[in-house]
Amino acid sequence: MAVVLVFLCAFFSIVTHTEKSAGPADAARQLAERMAGGGTILLVGRGSDEDREFVTGVGAALRKRGLEVVGEVVGEPRDAREALERLAREGKKLGFIGATAEAAEWTVLQEAATRFPALGAPRMVIPVGVRWPTFLTRQNLLNVANQIAVVAILAVGMTIVIISGGIDLSVGSLIALSAVGVTVLIRDWAGATAAGAGELFLCSLAGVMACAGIGLVSGGLVALFRVPPFIATLAVMQVASGVAFMIARGGSIYEVPDGFTWLGRGADFLGIPNAVLLMLGLYGGTHFFMTRTVLGRWVYAVGGNATAARLAGLNVPLVLLFAYAFCGAMAGLGGVVQASQLKSGAPTYGAMYELYAIAAVVVGGTSLSGGEGRVFGTLIGALIIAVIQNGMNLTNVESYSQRVVLGLVILGAVLLDMLKKRDWRWLTRLWRADPGRL
Amino acid sequence: MIRSHRRFLSLVLAAVALIPCAAPSASPRKARIGVSLLTLTNPFFRDLGDAMKEEGAKCGFEVSVNSGEFDAARQRNQVADFIVQKVGAIVLSPCDSKAIVTAIADANKAGIPVFTVDIAALGSGAKVVSHVATDNLGGGRLAAQALIEALGGKGRVAILDHPEVESVILRTKGFDEELARQKAENGVTMQVVARLPGGATKDKSFKAAEDLLQAHPDLNGIFAINDPSALGAVAALEKAGRLAQVKIVGFDGMPEGKQAIKNGQIYADPIQFPDRIGRTAVQTIRKYLQGDDVEAQILIPTALYRKADADKDSSLKK
């Protein structure tokens, strides 16, 4: 599966290859070359930190070389127009406009020569930077990881349930329930926007524990009453979603303090989003649990053959109860992250997420019939889905086609995995056309 | 196995590095506009998106239309991807008016202007350059005029309401204001005898209208705040065999609603113009990029659509 992920990354890197703005030093050199014959320059950038750095950096470098910088604009097209008007009023002549690639899209700059004839005929110069894939920028890669964090956290719980031979359809609804429950608790119990960090933690913990409890109920239905997992969790899915709508009274809850967004939007360690760190931590921990602890190995045994496991003396109900409770807790945690990212809770969150989580697990090589699978495989599966979605957004594929492509890629990835596991000779067997064996 | 993976990886990296570099050019790119609508399954938003693409092509913009499909998290991801692409402007109709605020704040920080269409963002800490939407207050006034016209200014009417939504509150407010004005100035005696929640859906409005007919056997008219509500009321009246006695005025101008107007089941609709909303939004972006001042809110008026208009409408079935 890792091959598929690398291939997708490479593909989107090639497709999103575009020119990036030059750094301040390099840009100043290019502009100075163009201005060798004399003249004045106005520097323009959009209102981002990056552009501000560009404009002030280039301005300082050009002044140092003794060139005349008549203005620096960082902001909106309107600011650029005002600067041009001011220069025209003062009777200044403008030789050049130095702009970042983004500000160069502004029509006010493109039409400066015709709209402000008093300035002379300023020429726009866009310093040329290196070409680099938009997909492979640091910000975008963090985006990909951040966007999939919630589904990936769901999928780690789902992996355990599927390895145990079951399935959990309720995780999407649990996201909504947890998000709504936690935000309502913050609003009504912790003092709304005045809530402190400790209270936020307690509210979030309550949400996670409640979802773990609901997972325990699903597990009980499956383990003790022998209800098929599909049916048991389908019922829980309906109940959880309905309760979420009841608690929220249909609307969204947004009376939460700014500090609540720390988990979903903060990035304290090396600029990596906290949600991504949480996700990685959970995968590491679960991988250790599934490969190195007794209970983890029992999950494989129960999923492989529940009867054999029971006869071998394993506590099968305990394993199932644990698997569903863990899955519920992960869904609850996913709901907290979702609410934190969106700074609000609404009962519509998480719709269809159970299907994305199941897709991530299956693409990651875990068998739906239970007993085999790897936790890190699921992480790769989740990343494949995230990369496809992100890549298609970057290449402007429209919504309808996105779903078709996503479905086909999931299918392709699973087929590839099946082929790899099977003996390739089945193909040659087909050629021999032995009707008795087909 | 591992070695073959590694070889594959190095091949890929080499391919990425070897992509031919274009000659340095100083010509500006076309401005790209990233759009994320509420949904593309509703004809209203489809028309809006198509109009934006069309108008964008005329203005020399590259417009890509996406939708959040009612999922606030998905819409947030789409905005994040627009920011990475460094688009020239972002246009949104929020899936959740409050949850979208954090995404708009991120776009603001990246220096990208944000515009909203049809649905506004609510909350502090984020700057929206301009909001383009239907004039719902004016539309409510038109609805009152239509119902007064249908009933000759007399009779007892009910409202199928859905007060959870801002735009609907404006519609009923416009309706009440116009009715009060006409009462004072033109001697209209029509009065509102009931307001029931219709959930803005066909099935809930059907039940609400049935209850309404039980409670007010002498009802003469219904103002339904959108087409699905109006069609629900039509179904209830047909079931009760009273469609001829009770006049209905809807809102929206969806194809199904227009067809009902043609069939004489609904008297009239103040219709919305999603295509005009889309075109106006793109024109506003063009004005903004030219450095001109743009209005913070632009309202697109509705127009009354009666049977005479429906008979001339070539998009409807006979």
List the CATH number of the domain containing A74: 3.40.50.2300
Q: Which of B95, B128, B161 is the last residue of a domain?
A: B128
* Rounded mean pLDDT, B157-183: 91
Domain assignment of residue A435, yes or no: no
pLDDT in tens, A378-387: 999 999 989 9
Domain assignment of residue B146, yes or no: yes
Same domain, B152 and B265: yes
Q: Across the interface, do B21 and A131 touch by the CB < 8 Å criterion?
A: yes
* Rounded mean pLDDT, B182-187: 91
B246 pLDDT exceeds 60? Answer: yes
Residues B229, B278: contact at Cβ < 8 Å? no
Nearest Cβ partner for A76 among B31, B76, B113: B113
B25 pLDDT exceeds 50? Answer: no
Locate A414 and state its tokens: 């699973």
B3 pLDDT exceeds 70? Answer: no
Same domain, A314 and A264: yes
φ/ψ of B158, rounded to 5, equals -125, 160
Helices and strands in chain A: count of H runs, count of E runs: 19, 6
Strand order in the sheet with B221-224: B191-197, B156-161, B221-224, B247-249, B268-271, B303-306
More confident residue, A297 or B163: A297
Contacts with B1 from chain A: Cβ below 8 Å? none
Q: Which of A98, A131, A164 is the last residue of a domain?
A: A131
Q: Which amino acid is at A186?
A: I
Band (B1; pLDDT cuts 50, 70, 90): very low
Domain assignment of residue A415, yes or no: no
How far from chain centre, in Å, is Cα B171?
13
**Dist CA B61 CA B285 (whole Å):** 10
Nearest chain A Cα to B109, which residue? Answer: A48
Best-predicted range by mean pLDDT among A64-73, B103-112, B163-172? Answer: B103-112
- Average pLDDT over chain B reads 88
Q: Which amino acid is at A332?
A: G
**Dist CA B80 CA A143 (whole Å):** 7
pLDDT in tens, A43-59: 999 999 888 988 998 88
* Rounded mean pLDDT, B32-61: 92
Same domain, B158 and B256: yes
Range of the domain at B219: 136-272+306-312
Domain assignment of residue A11, yes or no: no
Contacts with B94 from chain A: Cβ below 8 Å? none
Domain assignment of residue A404, yes or no: no
Same domain, A254 and A277: yes
Q: Across the interface, do B16 and A14 touch by the CB < 8 Å criterion?
A: yes
Nearest Cβ partner for B73 among A14, A143, A338: A338
Domain assignment of residue A4, yes or no: no
Q: Across the interface, do B290 and A128 touch by the CB < 8 Å criterion?
A: no
Same domain, A333 and A201: yes
Domain assignment of residue B244, yes or no: yes
Closest by CA to A381, choosing from A10, A5, A34, A114, is A5
A403: Cβ contacts below 8 Å, ≥ 6 apart: none
Nearest Cβ partner for A346 among B24, B96, B101: B96
Q: Which of B107, B128, B149 is the last residue of a domain?
A: B128
Same domain, B203 and B116: no
Domain assignment of residue B297, yes or no: no
Specify the length of chain B in residues.
318
A433 pLDDT exceeds 70? Answer: no
Same domain, A288 and A376: yes
Locate A400 and state its tokens: 């309808």
Same domain, A120 and A157: no
Give the domain CATH number at B209.
3.40.50.2300
Give the domain CATH number at A392.
1.10.3470
Q: Which of A67, A102, A131 is the last residue of a domain?
A: A131
Same domain, A287 and A155: yes
Closest by CA to B76, choosing from B102, B41, B97, is B102
Helical spans, DSSP H, in A224-273: 229-248, 262-265
Closest by CA to B113, choosing from B299, B286, B274, is B286
- Bridge partner list, B115: B91, B130
* Rounded mean pLDDT, A346-355: 87
CA A372 to chain B, closest CA, distance in angstroms equals 21
Band (A428; pLDDT cuts 50, 70, 90): low
CA B237 to chain A, closest CA, distance in angstroms equals 29
Same domain, B87 and B195: no
B17 pLDDT exceeds 60? Answer: no
Q: Which amino acid is at B287?
A: K
For residues A4-25, one letter each, b for 16 or more C-beta atoms within 10 angstroms of the residue's C-beta and e for the rest, the string is bbbebbbbbbeebbbbebbbbe
Domain assignment of residue B282, yes or no: no
* Rounded mean pLDDT, A88-113: 88
* Rounded mean pLDDT, A393-416: 81
Contacts with A12 from chain B: Cβ below 8 Å? none
B284 pLDDT exceeds 50? Answer: yes
Q: Which of B62, B96, B128 is the last residue of a domain?
A: B128
Residues A243, A210: contact at Cβ < 8 Å? no
Nearest Cβ partner for A124 among B5, B28, B40: B28
Domain assignment of residue A406, yes or no: no
**Dist CA B55 CA A21 (whole Å):** 29
* Pairing verdict, β B268-271 and B303-306: antiparallel
Band (A218; pLDDT cuts 50, 70, 90): very high
**Dist CA B306 CA B308 (whole Å):** 5
B233 pLDDT exceeds 50? Answer: yes
Nearest chain A Cα to B9, which residue? Answer: A6
Same domain, B99 and B154: no
Same domain, A237 and A172: yes
- Bridge partner list, A40: A68
* Rounded mean pLDDT, A132-152: 87
More confident residue, B160 or B22: B160
pLDDT given for residue A438 in this prediction: 43
pLDDT in tens, B285-318: 999 999 999 999 999 999 999 999 999 988 877 6
Q: Across the interface, do A76 and B288 touch by the CB < 8 Å criterion?
A: yes
Band (A400; pLDDT cuts 50, 70, 90): confident
Same domain, A77 and A175: no
**How many structural domains comprise chain A?**
2
Same domain, A92 and A210: no
End-to-end CA distance of chain B: 67
Same domain, B186 and B266: yes
* Rounded mean pLDDT, A249-272: 82
Same domain, B234 and B169: yes
* Rounded mean pLDDT, B37-57: 91
CA B170 to chain A, closest CA, distance in angstroms equals 19
Same domain, B147 and B209: yes
Same domain, B83 and B201: no
**Dist CA B127 CA B114 (whole Å):** 7
Same domain, B122 and B141: no
pLDDT given for residue A425 in this prediction: 61
pLDDT given for residue A265 in this prediction: 81
Domain assignment of residue B44, yes or no: yes
**Dist CA B107 CA B127 (whole Å):** 9
Range of the domain at A325: 140-396
Question: Helix, strand or coil for residue A73?
Answer: strand
Q: Which of A131, A159, A175 is the last residue of a domain?
A: A131
Domain assignment of residue A267, yes or no: yes
pLDDT in tens, B50-83: 999 999 999 999 999 998 888 888 899 999 999 9
pLDDT given for residue B105 in this prediction: 93
Contacts with B101 from chain A: Cβ below 8 Å? 343
Contacts with A352 from chain B: Cβ below 8 Å? 71
**How many structural domains comprise chain B?**
2
Residues B31, B41: contact at Cβ < 8 Å? no
Same domain, A144 and A28: no
